[in-house]
């Protein structure tokens, strides 16, 4: 018989089988528990346990809830090792071991999957545990928690039961507990006596049977396997699926299940539980930062039910300064924890997020993982650790996710306006920056309102991972309860979203959709402004401003420049945009869409002339209109070349969807008729003649110049004259003429004849030498297939991945909104291909074109100017296929620069 693969990995004081590198197999939690327990530099006090691999989860999912053969035996064997290490026995009436079953995927998904604690408590083991602990209150408290959690997670959720709101088993049991407290005149859960809890447990079990029509299992092994199955099933729970969609985590990774000996933070006043970060996750400050609760179990901290105590004196806040810190309450344990903190940082060389429990004065480590952090914190931690000698420059560059830069460049509440404003409440600064929006009180409303184009602040009583979609949609999140380590705070921080939690003054009434602060009521739709960096809530709309001139950021970007090899340009259509992009570090313009002069401010006159040109019937009429348009073209091009003085500017020849410019409104039609000396009817008729069934594939781009060479000629003249004038003014312009929507080299050749002729004429007229490049967009699949020929004439290629994606997929770029959500939902696509390059398909077209193009012309300059050019994954792809530069919108330039540097570092490390 062949031996079953290894499915179960033990960790504990001796003989740990896994390590931190085995994240894919053991999940983040499992791999790090093994590392903490087993690595010779660490050997931390980790309660013994074992990890069932992610492969088992995948098997379980593919085989309708069956486990692979051999698993049972491996679990039994590992459990025996755990029993030996802990000196207790699972299910033993005298000396019972209790365990937890926890999820843990490759990437952390805080609060999105399930956990069951205290597994193994039953009528057989309860008396023994009471005898052993001499603490019946603790035992019955643990038991009532087990019943609540287990019935909710294993018997209800994992069974796919979806009770109506407020009718879930957990809520029903919570209500029973509240009723008992009320009847007895108690305030806190801790007021409940052992007898109260014992009676409550009996009542709970009766309720579970009544509601779920099954008895609560009294067999420890049934509980254990129920817990394991529930963890695996929770991989496909609603929250987990929604979170994976947002974070782009593949469905087939699966979660591991960690079965670990229970240690108890709720055994009395010398017991406690806590969560900490080795550095401040909001600001990055090099300060041990965390929260703890005396006499509590782990989920009490993260569930955001009680406002937790501060970890140490240095990190007390307005909200928790009255509560004793761990440093004050248990100084020895605090020192031990501080020492562990230092060892963990030295070992992992990164900020860690840890969970710990203190059982009757003894410290245990329950988790450590790389901590989620804001963009500000990521930047500060990277630069500090570099200075401390913990990491090298390359690692520092890799430590800030390109998307996080966005947050550093994004708005904060205008400090001047803030000085004058009156705060209505304050809470914990869980996610940075500023946000201003209309308040809504449910996750669904946040999603709905956002869809309608509104900016909303999601206000909730407490933080609840089920709100993940609403949190994502909202511009900011505000909660009345919870701490910095509550799940919602973690999630918001991971996204760099402005978030304030634990604003205790706020009384939320989700049913009436309003909140009350100091007696004043705020209704759904009222405006508030949040300062997530300081944790302050303001009434009304305060202005937001850009967070510029951060010296730390400048230092970091200087490092980025040191490692970046791929060029970064910008897509800019106005001198103003060009200027901003230059400040952000753009090295030129990769796409100047000349049509811009017909939109927006100051466009009335050129648009009017363009319309005349479009509706012209004869070359003569057209030429007249073009002559009128010429000065506008030249002015725009000159301004942009000037703003980018010394740097290349890729000017694209007109690529207007003509029908969009045909006037629909009667007044405009009349005006045009008058100017052209024709009737309104004529204007209408000519407009109708321009109608195309499929304008995206119609008379656009180079085709326009093929039919009407005078259009090309006028533009090219404007480009060369603008250049000549600048040269004469002592400037250094670098124009690159780009022909759009080409599919054959002959289009390029014909256009080039015009370019050559006009070039000679302008050089002669101005008496200057004008150098320029001539190239094409590659945005039609056929152009990729014949790229070797295209490169005979083109000196550069710029991939127009908007159109290339449109024509490669056959997905209309303007209509994809109608079906993309289904494609993402059904996992046909993992991401919107118009935002991030589809490397599998469109990527092949790109690679082929790069290779073919360079085969003809080895020094062919190649870039990208589609929207994907600012997307970090696409930037990495562009680097890998050998492009010279990417081009993106001005605000994404720093992001692209960082992504480019990271791509080079990753590539050189691979080598």
How are beta strands 861-864 and 289-294 bridged, if at all?
A: unpaired
Q: Is 705 annotated as belonging to a binding site?
A: no
Choose the one of Mg ion, ligand PEP, none that binds residue 327, judging by a C-beta under 5 to 8 angstroms depending on kind: none
Whichever of 39 and 813 has its CB closer to ligand PEP, that residue is: 813
What residues numbered 470-499 form the site for ligand PEP, per CB under 6 A?
Answer: none
Whichever of 57 and 743 has its CB closer to ligand PEP, that residue is: 743
Whichever of 312 and 874 has its CB closer to ligand PEP, that residue is: 874
Shortest spacing between CB 803 and Mg ion, in angstroms = 4
Choose the one of ligand PEP, Mg ion, none that binds residue 865, judging by a C-beta under 5 to 8 angstroms depending on kind: ligand PEP
| Choices 257-265, 620-628, 675-683, 796-804 (CB under 6 A): range interacting with ligand PEP | 796-804
Geometric angle at alpha carbon 803, from 800 and 809, rounded to 5°: 125
Shortest spacing between CB 779 and ligand PEP, in angstroms = 5
Q: In what order do the strands lie in the sheet with 428-431?
A: 423-426, 536-539, 527-531, 434-440, 456-460, 476-479, 498-501, 428-431
Shortest spacing between CB 782 and Mg ion, in angstroms = 14
Whichever of 443 and 650 has its CB closer to ligand PEP, that residue is: 650
865 is a catalytic site residue: yes
Shortest spacing between CB 815 and ligand PEP, in angstroms = 15
CB within 8 Å of 639: residues ≥ 6 apart: 574, 575
DSSP state of 155: I
Q: Is 622 annotated as belonging to a binding site?
A: no
Q: Tell me the CB-side half-sphere exposure of residue 878, using CA atoms within 13 A.
A: 38
Residue 832 engages ligand PEP in binding (rule: CB under 6 A):
no
Residue 801 engages ligand PEP in binding (rule: CB under 6 A):
yes
Residue 596 engages ligand PEP in binding (rule: CB under 6 A):
no
Interacting residue with ligand PEP among 866, 870, 872, 890 (CB under 6 A): 866
Contact 299, 377 (CB under 8 A): no
Distance between CA atoms of 273 and 876, rounded to whole angstroms?
Answer: 42
Shortest spacing between CB 712 and ligand PEP, in angstroms = 17
Residue 869 engages Mg ion in binding (rule: CB under 5 A):
no
**Maximal C-alpha separation, the chain:** 104
Distance between CA atoms of 641 and 646, rounded to whole angstroms?
Answer: 9
Interacting residue with ligand PEP among 95, 317, 802, 884 (CB under 6 A): 802
Shortest spacing between CB 615 and Mg ion, in angstroms = 24
Residue 779 engages ligand PEP in binding (rule: CB under 6 A):
yes
Distance between CA atoms of 242 and 57, rounded to whole angstroms?
Answer: 19
Residue 262 engages ligand PEP in binding (rule: CB under 6 A):
no
Distance between CA atoms of 254 and 268, rounded to whole angstroms?
Answer: 37
Shortest spacing between CB 655 and ligand PEP, in angstroms = 6
What distance lies between CA 815 and its chain's CA centroid? 25
Whichever of 705 and 800 has its CB closer to ligand PEP, that residue is: 800
| Structure-block tokens of residue 45 | 């006090």
> Can you tell me which residue has the tokens 């593919």?
62
What residues numbered 12-31 form the site for ligand PEP, per CB under 6 A?
Answer: none
| Choices 176-184, 302-310, 394-402, 799-807 (CB under 6 A): range interacting with ligand PEP | 799-807
Q: Is 193 annotated as belonging to a binding site?
A: no
**Which run of H or of E encompasses 634?**
helix 619-643
Phi, psi (5° rounding) for residue 294?
-70, 150
Q: Is 736 annotated as belonging to a binding site?
A: no
Geometric angle at alpha carbon 192, from 186 and 193, rounded to 5°: 130
Interacting residue with Mg ion among 141, 353, 713, 779 (CB under 5 A): 779
Contact 775, 795 (CB under 8 A): yes
Sign of the torsion formed by the C-alpha atoms of 143, 149, 153 and 157: positive
What residues numbered 202-231 form the site for Mg ion, per CB under 5 A?
Answer: none
Choose the one of ligand PEP, Mg ion, none that binds residue 437, judging by a C-beta under 5 to 8 angstroms depending on kind: none
Shortest spacing between CB 593 and ligand PEP, in angstroms = 6
What distance lies between CA 8 and its chain's CA centroid? 32
Q: Is 802 annotated as belonging to a binding site?
A: yes
| Structure-block tokens of residue 255 | 């979660």
Whichever of 31 and 895 has its CB closer to ligand PEP, that residue is: 895
Contact 483, 298 (CB under 8 A): no
| Structure-block tokens of residue 567 | 């060029």
Which one from 201, 498, 865, 888 is the annotated catalytic residue? 865
Number of residues located near Mg ion, criterion CB under 5 A:
3
Q: Is 531 annotated as belonging to a binding site?
A: no
765: left (phi over 0), alpha (psi -120 to 50) or beta: alpha
Contact 600, 573 (CB under 8 A): no
Phi, psi (5° rounding) for residue 524?
-50, 135
CB within 8 Å of 393: residues ≥ 6 apart: 386, 559, 562, 563
What residues numbered 796-835 form the site for Mg ion, per CB under 5 A?
Answer: 800, 803
Residue 865 engages ligand PEP in binding (rule: CB under 6 A):
yes
Which one from 201, 368, 410, 487 is the annotated catalytic residue? 487
| Structure-block tokens of residue 377 | 């914190």
Annotate each residue in 612-651 with x if it binds ligand PEP (CB under 6 A) or - if it does not, as one string: ----------------------------------------
| Structure-block tokens of residue 746 | 């002959």
Number of residues located near ligand PEP, criterion CB under 6 A:
10
DSSP state of 374: -
Q: Which residues bind Mg ion (CB under 5 A)?
A: 779, 800, 803
| Binding residue numbers for Mg(2+) | 779, 803
Q: Which residues carry out catalysis?
A: 487, 865
The binding site for substrate consists of: 593, 652, 779, 800-803
Residues that bind ligand PEP (CB under 6 A): 591, 593, 655, 779, 800-803, 865-866
């Amino acid at each position: 018989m062949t031996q079953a693969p290894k499915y179960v990995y033990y960790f504990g004081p001796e003989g740990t089988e896994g390590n931190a590198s085995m994240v894919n197999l053991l999940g983040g939690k499992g791999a790090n528990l093994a590392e903490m327990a087993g690595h010779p530099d660490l050997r931390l006090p980790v309660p013994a346990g074992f990890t069932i691999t992610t492969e088992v989860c995948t098997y379980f999912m593919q085989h309708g809830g069956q486990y692979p053969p051999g698993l049972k035996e491996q679990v039994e064997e590992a459990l025996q090792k755990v029993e030996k290490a802990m000196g207790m026995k699972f299910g033993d009436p005298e000396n019972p071991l209790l365990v937890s079953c926890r999820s843990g995927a490759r990437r952390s998904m805080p609060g999105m999957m399930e956990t069951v604690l205290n597994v193994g408590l039953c009528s057989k083991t309860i008396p023994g545990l009471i005898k052993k602990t001499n603490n019946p209150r603790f035992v019955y408290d643990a038991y009532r928690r087990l019943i609540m959690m287990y019935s909710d997670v294993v018997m209800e959720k994992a069974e796919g039961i979806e009770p109506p709101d407020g009718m879930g088993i957990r809520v029903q049991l919570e209500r029973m507990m509240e009723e008992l407290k009320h009847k007895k005149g108690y305030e806190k859960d801790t007021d409940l006596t052992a007898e109260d809890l014992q009676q409550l447990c009996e009542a709970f079990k009766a309720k579970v049977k009544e509601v779920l029509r099954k008895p609560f299992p009294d067999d420890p092994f049934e509980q254990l396997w129920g817990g394991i199955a529930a963890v695996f099933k929770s991989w496909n729970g609603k929250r987990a699926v929604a979170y994976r969609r947002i974070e782009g985590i593949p469905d087939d990774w699966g979660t591991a299940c960690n079965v670990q000996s229970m240690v108890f933070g709720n055994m009395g006043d010398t017991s406690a539980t806590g969560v900490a970060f080795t550095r401040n996750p909001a600001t990055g400050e090099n300060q041990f930062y965390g929260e703890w609760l005396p006499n509590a179990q782990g989920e009490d901290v993260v569930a955001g039910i009680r406002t937790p105590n501060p970890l140490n004196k240095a990190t007390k806040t307005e909200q928790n300064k009255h509560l004793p810190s761990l440093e004050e309450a248990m100084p020895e344990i605090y020192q031990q924890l501080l020492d562990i903190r230092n060892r963990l940082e030295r070992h992992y060389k990164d900020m860690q997020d840890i969970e710990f429990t203190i059982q009757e004065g003894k410290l245990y480590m329950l988790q450590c993982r790389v901590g989620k952090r804001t963009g500000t914190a990521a930047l500060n931690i990277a630069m500090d650790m570099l200075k401390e000698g913990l990491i090298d420059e390359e690692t520092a560059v890799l430590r800030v996710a390109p998307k996080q830069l966005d947050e550093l460049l994004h708005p904060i509440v205008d400090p001047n306006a803030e000085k004058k404003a009156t705060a209505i409440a304050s809470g914990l600064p869980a996610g940075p920056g500023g946000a201003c929006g209309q308040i809504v009180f449910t996750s669904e409303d946040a999603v709905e309102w956002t869809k309608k184009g509104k900016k909303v602040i999601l206000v909730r009583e407490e933080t609840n991972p089920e709100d993940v979609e609403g949190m994502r949609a909202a511009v900011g999140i505000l909660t009345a309860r919870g701490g910095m380590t509550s799940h919602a705070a973690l999630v918001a921080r991971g996204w760099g979203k402005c978030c304030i939690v634990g604003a205790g003054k706020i009384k939320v009434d989700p049913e009436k959709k309003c909140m009350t602060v100091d007696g004043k009521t705020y209704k759904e739709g009222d405006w508030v402004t949040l300062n997530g960096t300081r944790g302050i809530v303001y009434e009304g709309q305060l202005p937001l401003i850009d967070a510029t001139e951060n010296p730390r950021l400048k230092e970091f970007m200087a490092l980025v420049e040191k490692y970046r090899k791929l060029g970064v340009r910008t897509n800019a259509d106005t001198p103003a945009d060009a200027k901003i992009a230059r400040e952000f570090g753009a090295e030129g313009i990769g796409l100047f869409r000349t049509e811009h002069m017909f939109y927006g401010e100051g466009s009335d006159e050129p648009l009017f002339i363009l319309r005349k040109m479009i509706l012209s019937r004869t070359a003569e009429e057209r030429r007249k209109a073009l002559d009128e348009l010429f000065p506008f073209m030249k002015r725009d091009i000159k301004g942009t070349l000037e703003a980018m003085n010394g740097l290349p500017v890729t000017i694209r020849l007109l690529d207007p969807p003509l029908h969009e410019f045909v006037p629909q409104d009667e007044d405009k039609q009349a005006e045009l008729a008058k100017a052209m000396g024709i009737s309104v009817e004529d204007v209408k008729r000519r407009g109708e003649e321009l109608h195309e069934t499929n304008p995206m594939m119609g008379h656009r781009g180079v085709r326009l110049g093929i039919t009407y060479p005078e259009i090309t000629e006028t533009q090219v003249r404007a480009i060369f004259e603008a250049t000549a004038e600048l040269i004469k003014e002592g400037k250094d312009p670098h124009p690159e003429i780009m022909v759009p929507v080409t599919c054959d080299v002959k289009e390029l050749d014909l256009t080039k004849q015009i370019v050559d002729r006009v070039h000679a004429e302008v050089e002669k007229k101005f008496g200057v030498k004008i150098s320029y490049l001539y190239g094409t967009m590659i945005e039609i699949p056929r152009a990729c297939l014949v790229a070797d020929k295209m490169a005979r004439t083109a000196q550069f290629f710029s991939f127009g991945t908007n159109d290339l994606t449109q024509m490669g997929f056959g997905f209309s770029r303007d209509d994809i909104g109608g079906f993309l959500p289904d494609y993402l939902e059904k996992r046909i696509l993992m991401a919107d291909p118009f935002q991030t390059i589809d490397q599998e398909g469109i990527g092949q077209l790109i690679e082929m074109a790069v290779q073919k193009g360079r085969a003809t012309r080895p020094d062919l300059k190649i870039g990208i100017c589609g929207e994907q050019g600012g997307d970090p994954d696409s930037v990495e792809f562009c680097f890998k296929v050998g492009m010279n530069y990417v081009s993106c919108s001005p605000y994404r330039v720093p992001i692209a620069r960082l992504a480019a540097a990271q791509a080079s570092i990753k590539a050189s490390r691979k080598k």
